[in-house]
Amino acid sequence: MTAIDPNPIAWWDAHQKALVERDQAKLLKHVYDTEEALFFRWQELRLGHGHEEELRKMALACEDLLRIKIDELGWPPVRLQNSDMLWDAANKGVLKVAPKIEGARAS
């Protein structure tokens, strides 16, 4: 079994760069770098227990990335899977109940 790095910095460093970057081209690269680092870290953490605090921080970083994509990079709002919640960029990331569309099928 592979050992888990007890003090990872790759995802954290990339996340911090994304939070402060203002150049859109560089910002998008930092967002992608953070997503990649988070993915690989999640793969490492699935091997063990006792990483709840880091997993919580990683989830918050994902929320930051979604906010950055919508608010700063102009991506369209997203409907969360299996939810009537919608990311609301106009309210700086506040989730709100998405309006029901007449005739729409329930998923």
Tell me the per-residue pLDDT of 12-58, one tens digit each, with 9 for 90 and over: 999 999 999 999 999 999 999 999 999 999 888 887 777 888 888 99
At 98, the pLDDT band (50, 70, 90 cuts) reads very low
Which pLDDT does position 4 carry in this prediction? 62
pTM assigned to the model: 0.67
DSSP state of 71: I
Residue 96 has pLDDT above 60, yes or no: no
Q: With contact defined as beta carbons under 8 Å apart, do 67 and 93 qualify?
A: yes
At 100, the pLDDT band (50, 70, 90 cuts) reads very low
Which pLDDT does position 99 carry in this prediction? 47
More confident residue, 49 or 93: 49
The token pair that represents 15 in the structure block: 């996340």
